[in-house]
Chains A and B, each alone.
Chain A
Amino acid sequence: MSLPKQVKKKLSLIPQKFGVERRQELLEDITDKGTYLPKGVLHADLDRGMLDFVKDQLELSVDGKKIPTLDRIITNQSWIQFTETWDFKDLDNNVSLPFISTVRMPEVKYGTNNAGRANIPVRRQFFYYTVPTWDGQRKGVDVYKIPQPIPVDLTFNVKIFCNRMREVNEFNKIMMRTFTSKQAYTQIKGHYIPLKLEDVTDESVKDITKRKFYISTYKITMLGLLIDEEEFEVTPGITRQVSLFEFDTRKPSKRAVIEPPNPKDFTLDFLYVTGNTSLTEVFRYNANIEIIRTENLKTCFSLDYSSTTTNILSYVSCNGTPSTISLTAGSNGNICVKGGTIPTLSNVTGGTLSSTSSCFGSYSVNITRNSVTYYLGDDISPIQINDGDTLNVVVNKLDPTQPAILYTNVTLV
């Protein structure tokens, strides 16, 4: 009776690692028996790896006899062929069949491992490892940096030379089994390198008038990489770190707020609360104060009138009392009218009205300098202030029950 599927027939004595542990194991393989850096891989290493792969993974035995493998890549130095094949030669000193040979195409193309996409430009170094150091006194670290490996594609032709179809079949079986998933892996200096079986071709000599033998060629692309140890960079890292903390034991004093924050130009409002009509301010700088606008200040204007006929002039006087003046032909004069009100004539065509200037001060400006008070005038703008002056502004409120505001703009000079 067969065993249930869940029962394992073979138990691995070495526990298999998965996930992060497996990745760590792969990393340790790369640096095994070496430094903390990965081992360099160059063209000759890749070729050697391929030869080893052919020798070990594609080993072929016929009738209990191992078929020899040419364990070198034959190059232009033709004398080497004799050295490498002396142990399987025939009467004519030719290589005796069967044997397996590996041919590398000289051209090495840019790798297709990254699917032909553009890569990071410039050979910049990337952090690889931090190695702790100890010089007997201090602990430190060395920072290991390496550039990105260069992907390369190498093309190999693995050829079997033999006389019998059975040998061709047997080798083909080994190839197909090895490349069942179209690719196989070989480990070169700790790096796993994929190999892709591209094509199988036949170069057999079938000429009936010549010595006949089979040549099966298996084209294999190695998706290799180049890591040049000369490009590795080891730099000393931090060897000592000193942390100092400094405390101020003094009591922090409150820092005076500097006003105005923008010393060149700022606004200054004079607020006269209800019941107050005078404000005094000591200035510690030279400035020009310009009155921008006022609020709740009493204004009056002087009005000249003349009449050519009998007429009645209706107006509001500066103190707010509605008044009238009876005029006859040739009457003229001047009255002080409350701001914001427009006088009217009963016969408009028989008289004229013309406004002149203010006839009532909204605010009066006084400056005290060197203990002497000077009256500068009413409704003046701008007001020039020197350092140390005491400015006094007295206002006439329109509505004494409400606060009044004098909006000013101060420019430092």
Chain B
Amino acid sequence: MTQNRVPITRLNKFFAEQDFNLELAMGEEWLLGDMNFTLVLYRVDRQKTNSDDVYGEALSDAIQFLPPVEFKGYVKVEAPSNSDMGSSRIYQTEPGNLQVSVYQKSLNELDIEINLGDYIGYYETETRVRYYSVVDDGRIVSDNKHTYGGYKPYYRTIIAAPANENEFRGI
């Protein structure tokens, strides 16, 4: 059964499909051509990963992944914070979260979906990579900010928290 398609005609007098595509193309040129922030997405293979029947947890190094995919996005890394680990008096500096804004069009072209719990690798230097676990996959893009003034959703904001080495250290 074919899905009903309803043409989007709002803002049509000033901002139509052509304008939207033009803006998107320029944005992509800026993001992919000028900025060129490259990230690697490690998607958890939820079908092949063996998990236990109580907690659904996988053992260390037992999570199966789909092939890693490189993608471009606008990266913003929050500042690290100093804190104690609980009430243990053990001091640590916690790296800041990673916020990635990515065009939905790019994800569609790569045929990938970013889900809660997937891992993202971001090379800070040529030799140093930090891995993050997706804590907010930004799947809801109904707000004005993500819809180009209310026209149509066009990008997602993904937030990922730093992953410990015993949780994920690349494949």
Contact = CB atoms under 8 A, between A and B. Distances in A.
B54 A73 contact: yes
Contact of A78 (B52, B54, B117, B140): B117
A72 B117 contact: no
Interface string B154-167: 00000000000000
Interface stretch (A79-87, A163-171, A199-207): A79-87
A396 B117 CA distance: 124
A44 B139 contact: no
A93 B139 contact: yes
Interface string A68-103: 000011110111111110000000110000000000
Contacts of B140: 92
A48 interface: yes
A80 B116 CA distance: 9
Nearest to A70: B56
Given A78-B117, A78-B133, A92-B140, A83 B54 contact: no
A380 B87 CA distance: 98
Report which residue of A72, A74, A79, A82 has the largest number of chain B beta carbons within 10 angstroms of its beta carbon. Answer: A79
Interface string B46-72: 100001111111100001000000000
Given A78-B135, A92-B140, A72 B55 contact: yes
Which size bracket describes the interface of B in this complex?
Answer: 20 to 34
B116 A78 contact: yes
Nearest to B113: A93
A90 to B, nearest CB: 11
Given A92-B139, A92-B140, A93-B139, A80 B54 contact: no
A51 interface: yes
A80 B135 contact: no
A330 to B, nearest CB: 120
Contacts of A82: 46, 115-117
Interface in B16-74: 44, 46, 51-58, 63
A78 B160 CA distance: 12
A73 B117 contact: no
B117 A77 contact: yes
Contacts of A72: 53-56
Contact of A83 (B46, B118, B134, B135): B46
Contact of A73 (B44, B55, B116, B135): B55
A47 interface: yes
Nearest to B44: A79
User: By DSSP majority rule, is chain B's interface helix, strand, loop, or mixed?
Assistant: loop
B46 A79 contact: yes
A75 B53 contact: no
Interface residues of A, number: 18
A52 to B, nearest CB: 10
A75 B55 contact: yes
- Name A's interface SS: helix
B115 A80 contact: no
A78 B57 CA distance: 9
A44 B53 CA distance: 9
Given A82-B46, A83-B46, A93-B139, A77 B116 contact: no
Contacts of A92: 139-140
Given A79-B44, A82-B46, A92-B139, A48 B115 contact: no
Nearest to A80: B56
Interface in B120-155: 133-135, 139-140
A92 B140 CA distance: 6
B54 A77 contact: no
A83 B56 contact: yes
Contacts of B133: 78
A51 B52 CA distance: 13
Given A44-B54, A51-B54, A80 B117 contact: yes
Nearest to B45: A79
A79 B134 CA distance: 9
Interface string B76-116: 00000000000000000000000000000000000000011
A79 B54 CA distance: 15
B57 A80 contact: yes
B139 A77 contact: no
A48 B56 CA distance: 11
A161 B71 CA distance: 37
A78 B115 CA distance: 10
Contact of B115 (A44, A73, A74, A79): A79
Contact of A81 (B53, B54, B117): B117
Nearest to B139: A93
Given A83-B46, A92-B140, A77 B52 contact: no
Given A82-B115, A82-B116, A83-B51, A77 B46 contact: no
A184 to B, nearest CB: 20
Q: Which 8 A-B pairs have the closest CB atoms?
A: A79-B117, A80-B56, A72-B56, A78-B117, A79-B44, A48-B54, A83-B46, A75-B55
12 contacts: A44-B54, A44-B55, A47-B54, A51-B54, A72-B53, A73-B55, A74-B56, A75-B57, A79-B63, A79-B115, A82-B46, A82-B115
Given A44-B55, A77-B117, A78-B116, 16 more contacts: A44-B52, A47-B55, A48-B53, A73-B54, A74-B56, A75-B56, A77-B55, A78-B117, A78-B133, A78-B134, A79-B116, A80-B51, A82-B116, A82-B117, A83-B56, A92-B140
